[in-house]
Structure formats: structure tokens, C-alpha cells
Structure 1
Amino acid sequence: MTHSNSELIASTPTQKRALSYANTILNLFSEVMSTQKPADRILANYFREHKKHGSKDRRIIRETLFGLFRWWGWLKQNLSSSHNPATVDAETIKLLLATALLEQHSWEAIIQAWAELSETDVELLTEIQTQDSKLDRIAKLYPQHKFELTQLLPESFWSHIQLSEEQQSKLADSMLSRPPIWARAQFEKTETVISSLESDDINISRSEFFNDALHLGTKSINLPQVKAYQQGKLEIQDLASQVIGNVCSPKPDEQWWDACAGAGGKSLQLASLMSREATSKPAGKIISSDIRSSALEELSKRAKRANTKLIKTQYWKAESLPVKENYFDGVLVDAPCTCTGTWRRNPDMRWTDTLENVGDTANLQLHILTQSAQAVKSAGTLVYATCSLLDKENRHVVESFLADNPEFELVKLIHPFTGEAKSYLTIWPYEANSDGMFVAKMIKK
């Protein structure tokens, strides 16, 4: 896509570079919004086709693009309704300037050039950069509008959840930044994995909540070059996602079915927990299923790298169960969902994903849960999880299932981050600097 920027004339080399960046970023933004494809995929394709960009160029483009999505709830108010956001002019360049100031980006020369090109008072930049509050920054740039934290998430989202004003503000505030990289030590003592990571000069800290959870900071890591990852002793898994395996709490001699395994992060976690609990070689097994064969192929690669024989894959290719009925000690249903719990990590999804069809998604989730429950044996465990924050996909699905399946009953859970007892456990991103997740645990009577 190309758009004219003839209305803006660059008078310096820096302004010319700033205009080039603006053209690229705004085109990419427009492509994501119009195609509704994931921003990281579109960006990866762009960089693959445009190898001229060095690491600095890539960083400016990437971080400004994702920042634009993160703050779009505020920024879109300052764009006239008929204005194409891909048009490179003073109005849209000011959006990039606002993004850079809100994100506190470090490319000062480009920020200065964007201010000049958008005819923004350059002296205002220093004043804005000294402000602690994001609300103060956006209000100084656009004093004609009123801004609130809740505007950073779409109205359709708020209509689906019941939170107090304080909780809404906390949730919106947590969306102002990307969560850190969380990882998990697996099939090895955590101390040994930490030593290995330190030898690779990776900054690391342990989680206070789970013994095997590791905080790897916020900077990107070249994982294939990390020894512990190469050996399958380290897996990247968000802290909220790690809650699910700990709720399952599989024993070394149990048979588990991961019904919606995807690429296998939770299957590997279950296997690692089995091994950690075992005093001898675990006698249990995990069957991992999915309707996507490509996902199971990736799972098999990860299991091979981790050198575990506990996981077997079983393609779910028809309506009937791919496994035995009344057989498993535990069944995990990590159901497909709207992924609203990952919006902090994927800010573009806030504006490209529609929640209009959440009812259809909930029906599918209930269908999968009902089917999968047939595989649970008497006194066995059934765990339902999503990476959604919406009641309709979470608590309502479980309530509907329990109403139709009285042989199952809820188990009280202790929230790992707050210590509260909960029948339905929602992990909010602000509770432990993570994504959002939901989990409920049931026992077959």
C-alpha cells in the first residue's frame, strides 16, 4: 500500500527518515485494521520482504506500531471520522508522536522530527517527558478532549464483565504495558536451570508463587541460542497460564488427557509436574489432542527436545472422542476463546477482534467441555480453562455444564496470587504482572 505524503515536506535528513518511518508504520497499522490479521504476523512478513531495515529501524517500527494499538483507545478520538489513519499528514504523524511520548521511547531525534512535521510545540516535549502520568501527557497534547483509562479497551469488552470502578481502573492500567517474559523450568531442578541461564548472561528472578516459574525480564531473548532451552529444560509460558497446570496437579501415576492441547505448553507442564512429584520413573501418561495436526507436530518437536516420553499425541479428527470414555484420572479442556486475557500482550486484538459472536464461542466451548467430560473416570478430575476474561466464556459455560451434568461438582480453589478461596478462578493481569486466565476444577462423583 502506498499513500501520498506530498502535503508534508521534509527539510532535513532526519525529517526525511521520520517521514519514511511514519509511512511504513501507518501503512502497517492500516493493513492490520483492514485485514484483521495478527499484527505480529503482518510485521514479520513486512520485515521478511524488506531486508533493508537494520535493527534500529526494526525497533522503531515495531515498538511504535504496537504502541499505536496500545493507545488507540485514546488516539482515535483525535482523528476526524473521515480521516484515513494510513494517510501521512500532520494529523496522523502527531498520533505517532503521542505514541512515542506515552511509551517514553528513546529515539529523540525522530520524536523531535515528528513534532516538527506535525507542527507540535517542540518546547512541549520536554514538559511532557517530565510528567509521570500518562493521562497528563495525552491531555497536554490534546487538551480539547477528555481521557479516561477505561477508554483503552473497547466498550464491547466492558459490557461483558462485571467489575467495580476500582477493578476496571486496575485492569485498564495493567494494559498500559506488555507483560514480562515468564518461563518455567521443566524436567530439571529450578536451581540448575537458573545457573544455566546465568551462564548465558540472562537476567533472571524467581517467582514467589511457583517453585518452577522464572521471570526473564522484558527484553527479547534469542531462545535458540539459550542452552537450557536447547536442552528442553526451559519453556516460555506466561505466569497466568502456569496456574492451570498447578490447578490440575497431576500425580506421577495418573493418566491425563489434554483435550485442546495446541502446541503443547500445558501438556509439557503437566508432564514436568508429574516428573517433579515422582520418586521413581513416572508411571503415568498424557494424551494430547487437537483438531490441528500442525499444532500436534509442534508439540511432538517440543516433547522430543525435552526428552520426555510421557506425552503421546492423538489427532481429534471427528465428532467422536479420540480417546477412551471413563478412562482418565484427569481431563484438561483449555478451550478456544476470544483470548481477551492476552490483550495486554497483543494490543492489536483489542481493535480487530469482534466480541459480537461471543455467544457462538460459548456454545462451542460448552460442546467441547461436554464431549471431553465423557473421558473422565469415576472420582476423576475435569479442569476447564480459557485465556478469556469474559463471564460468558467462563463461569456461564461451567454453570451450564454443571446444570446438565450433575455427576460433576465444583472444587474450591485457592487463588495463588491473593490467597482467596474461589469456585471460579479468574487471574487478572494486574494481580501478578501476567496475562489473564480463567480456570474451574470439577470432580466426577
Structure 2
Amino acid sequence: MGNPTPPENGIIPAQINHSHKRAYSYATTISHLFATINDTKQPADRVIGQYFRDHKKHGSKDRRIIRETLFGLFRWWGWLAQLSAADIIGKDQPLTPQWFRQLSGCALLEQHGWQDIIDAWHELGELPQWPALDGVEIQQKSQQLQQHFPELNFSLDLLLPSWFWQVTTPRADQQLALIAAMSSRPPIWARAQGLPVSAIVTELQALDIDAKPSPYFSDALSLGHKSINFNQVSLYQNGKIEIQDLASQVIGQICAPSPNDTWWDACSGAGGKSLQLRALMQAQGHGRGHIVASDIRQHALDELLKRAKRAGYTQITLARWRSEALPVEAQAFDGVLVDAPCSCTGTWRRNPDMRWLDATDVVEQKPALQLDILSRSSHAVKPGGVLVYATCSLANAENEQVVNAFLAAHPEFSPETIIHPFTGESTTMLTVWPYEADSDGMFVCRMRRQ
């Protein structure tokens, strides 16, 4: 195991005894990363990825402690921020007892296992005792912390920013379930490509991976909540499994392409849904089906091609957006998928930092762009063809309001009824909530051109 990065000046305070030095070094590294993310507003994944590339001597345990503590801090920051008079310790400021309280509180809430480090953080935080929170539900955690720190506020709604409740409308009786889901570690979902799920589960379980088939889709499987190095998994390297959240898989299932269809993935990104559409076609037989994928970012399309090659898919071609002009032929596609850029509030389990880095404007600035992309892309749908609009947002302004504005301006399209795959409910505008099947949040609407 490598050593954690020492303080920026290379000096550990003299009053820190030997048994606490490793814990202090971890705390310094995490503090530096936490402040960098808040100062630069860059995604935590990007910041920590660059940090590990610059500090290659870290062992796997170091990486795990640093990464999981950092993400845990953001996950519980609505509560943990109250343990310090200052919201965030600056990169060059000395560590305080309050920071160690936040670290030990995070470890307790996340139920982390590095007990020696946690004990040292607790002692450095100068707290007599934390309440025992192991294994209790989030509502009980709130109550126990409130009793232990009566001067603070540990209400559940603080775990999400106040503006979130202004832009989304979860059912009142499901608000607790939403908070609990958003405050839990995200699962890893995958999709089988070219092999039966049962065979994949057997092989992954032999590698000590917690693989299980999904009860919802025949090609979906759960890989548990523990981190996995997929570079060491041959099924992944050979394109037989693709990592894709279950809520994201809902979109392809609602597209429901036929084996001879031609589909346009108008906002493909790195191609997760393009690959899913092709896999769904192929599972029905070897037809003449074809996927055209478009994005404004060439690097994303390059990644798509790499993933398609790994899966052995040759029926996916590219048409990059280079201007506002349609990059494909008008009225040429049986189906068009518009997975529009959005605020990504549905992925906050996976990216807990974004709930504190963003503000209401991240929602307010998107609908005009979303409506514009949807309207332009709709021209590629054949008469009788399908148009699917999707986001990974939970905000009404990016979802129902965009669809309603589009339908008002395009009477040639009408919404179709969707059966919710997790609840069985019928609707024309489907929101997948994170608590329904342990997934991200998504929105989707399927429309048909008359």
C-alpha cells in the first residue's frame, strides 16, 4: 500500500502522535480535494481522477479511503456542514477539529470499515462519542443525531438542496423514500450483449462479483454496490457486458426497436443507448436494422466507436452535429431518440457533489435548448415513426413542460401510453424515481408521427 499524500507543506503538526499520522495525511488529502472541487466547480469524478493520475503511488486501499470518504462527504453534506462554523476548509488552511468531526461522522453514516483511521479522526475531532448509527434507517439516523446534537438541525430534507424541492414534485408519501435513495451508495447495473444473463451471472460470481439477474428486463443484471475493476473482467473487455444504469435501460426498452428498423440516436454521447438499441434489435434476429449516432463532441463519438467494436457491432454509423442543420436525412428514420442534455438531477446518487455545486439555473437554462433539439430532431422521423424524448432529470421544467410545448407546436405528433416497467402503471409521461428499483432517476415520453 502506498502512503497518502502529506500536507502541502510536507509537515504534520508536532502534536499529532505516530498512530494518527496516516489518518491526518488522509484528512489533508481529502480536504484539499474537497476544497478544489468546491473552488473550481469541476465534477468530483474528474478532480479525483486527475489526482490519482498525478499520484500513482497510492495503493488500492488509499484510493478507496480517499474516494469513498470524499463522495460520502458530499452525500451527507447537508448534515455534516453544520459541524463546522466554516462551510469548507480552504486548500491552504490548517485542519481543524471540526473537519475531523465531519470525517468521522461521514465514516459513521457511510458505515466505512477502516476502523483505525476512523478512531483517529474521532479522537482528533475531540468529540466524546458519536451515537451508534450502524444499520439503522435514515429516519432513525436523523432522530439519533438530533438527540445527540440538539442545537443543530438534522431534518431529512436538508440532504438535498432547497432549490431541488422547488423544481420537482415527488409524491408526498414518497419523499422519504427519495431522500433515502439519494443518500445511499449507487448500485452498478449492467446489460448482457450476446450471451444469456444466466451464463454471465455464473462467470461473474466465480470472480466474487455480486451478480444477479434483474427481475425487470431479460438482459439486465445487478452487480451490487461494491467497486469493480472492469479492466480485469474478460466479459467486459470482450463486449459481452456493458455498464448501464437500470433507469437508463428503461429508455431503450421503451424505444422497442424492431430488427429491421433504422434509428437515429440524436444525442448519443458515448453511445450507451445506441449500443442498447442495437442489442435489442439483434436479440430479435439478424435483420437489416441500423443505428445512426450523433453528438457535437467528437471524443464522445470516438468512444462510441470503440465500444461498438468491442461488442462486435458494425451496424452503427456516425453523423456528427456540425451546425444547426440536421446531420441526417429528413423523414428517414423509423425511430428517433432524443436523450437531451439536462441538469442530471436524476444521477445525484452517482454524483452527490453536483447537488451542492449546482443551483436552480442549471435547470432554468436547459428547457429552451431541449425544446430546440427535440423540434429539430423530430424532422428526421418518418410518417408513422416514433420519437422518444428522454432526460436524466427529475425537474418538471425539463421534462413534462418541454414535451407539452413540443406537442403544442407539432400537432402531427401524439404521445403514446407507456407501461411503467417497475410499477405497472400506465402513463404518457414516465418518471423513473431512484427508489422504485434502486436506480438513477429518468424521464421518458414516446410519441408517434401521424
Do the aligned partners of residues 152 and 385 (structure 1) sit closer, same or farther apart at CA in structure 2, a change above 3 Å counting?
same
Given the alignment, which residue of 158, 161, 166 partners 1:151?
Answer: 158
Alignment equivalent of 2:270, drawn from 246, 263, 269 = 263
3-state secondary structure, aligned to 1:159? helix
Instruction: Please report how far the alpha carbon of residue 36 of structure 1 lies from its aligned counterpart in structure 2 after TM superposition.
Output: 0.7
1:24 corresponds to = 29
TM-score by length of 2: 0.93
Q: Which residue of 1 aligns with 2:3?
A: none
CA contact (8 A) 1:101 1:137 kept: no
SS of residue in 2 equivalent to 1:240? helix
* Alignment pair present for 1:325 and 2:330: yes
Question: What is the alpha-carbon distance in structure 1 between the residues aligned to residue 241 and residue 429 of structure 2?
Answer: 30
Give the distance between the partners of 2:339 and 2:87, measured in 1 at CA: 42
Q: Give the C-alpha shift of residue 201 in structure 1.
A: 4.0
Distance 1:166 1:6 in 2: 52
- Alpha-carbon shift at residue 181 of structure 1 (Å): 0.6
Give the structure 2 partner of residue 65 of structure 1: 70
1:112 paired with 2:119, answer yes
State the alpha-carbon separation in 2 of the partners of residues 425 and 360 from structure 1.
22
Structure 2 residue runs of 5 or longer lacking an equivalent are 1-5
Cα distance in 2, alignment partners of residues 128 and 410 from structure 1: 47
Query: Are 1:341 and 2:346 matched, yes or no?
Result: yes
TM-score by length of 1: 0.94
User: Does structure 2 retain, via aligned residues, the 8 Å contact 1:8–1:89?
Assistant: no
Decide whether the 8 Å contact of 1:388 with 1:438 is kept in 2.
yes
Q: Which ranges in structure 1 are unaligned for 5 or more consecutive residues?
A: none
Which residue number in structure 1 is paired with residue 317 of structure 2?
312
Give the total of aligned pairs: 441
Percent identity between the two aligned chains: 52
Distance in structure 1 (CA, Å) of the matches to 2:87 and 2:231: 46
Q: Which amino acid aligns with 1:101?
A: L
User: Larger deviation: 128-137 or 163-172?
Assistant: 128-137
Q: How does 1:262-411 map to 2 (within 5 A)?
A: 262-278=269-285, 281-411=286-416
Residue 43 of structure 1, aligned match among 31, 48, 73: 48
Q: Please tell me the residue identity of whatever aligns with 1:419.
A: G
Q: Is the 8 A contact 1:10 1:19 kept in 2?
A: no
Deviation of residue 72 (structure 1)? 0.5
Distance 2:123 2:333 in 1: 65
State whether structure 2 residue 60 is matched by structure 1 residue 55: yes
Matched, 1:416 2:448: no
Contact 2:392-2:443 at 8 Å conserved across structures: yes
How is 1:242-253 mapped onto 2 (pairs within 5 angstroms)?
242-253=249-260
Contact 2:167 2:397 in 1 (8 A): yes
The equivalent of 1:102 in structure 2 is 109
Distance 1:438 1:6, change over 3 A: same
- 1:178 deviates by 1.7
Query: 8 Å contact 1:102–1:137 — kept in the other structure?
Result: no
Q: Is the contact made by 1:200 and 1:227 (CA closer than 8 Å) also made in structure 2?
A: no
Residues 200, 64 of structure 1: alpha-carbon distance in 2 compared, 3 angstrom cutoff: closer
* Residue in structure 1 matched with residue 219 of structure 2 by the alignment: 212
- Please state how far the C-alpha of 1:327 moved relative to its aligned partner: 1.0
**Superposed CA offset, 1:104-154 (max 9, x none):** 111212111112111111xx2474558653214533553311211111110
The root-mean-square deviation of aligned C-alpha atoms, in Å, is 2.1
Q: 8 Å contact 2:260–2:289 — kept in the other structure?
A: yes
Deviations 1:368-396 (A, max 9, x none): 00000000010100000000000000010
Give, in whole Å, the separation in 1 of the partners of 2:20 and 2:296.
50
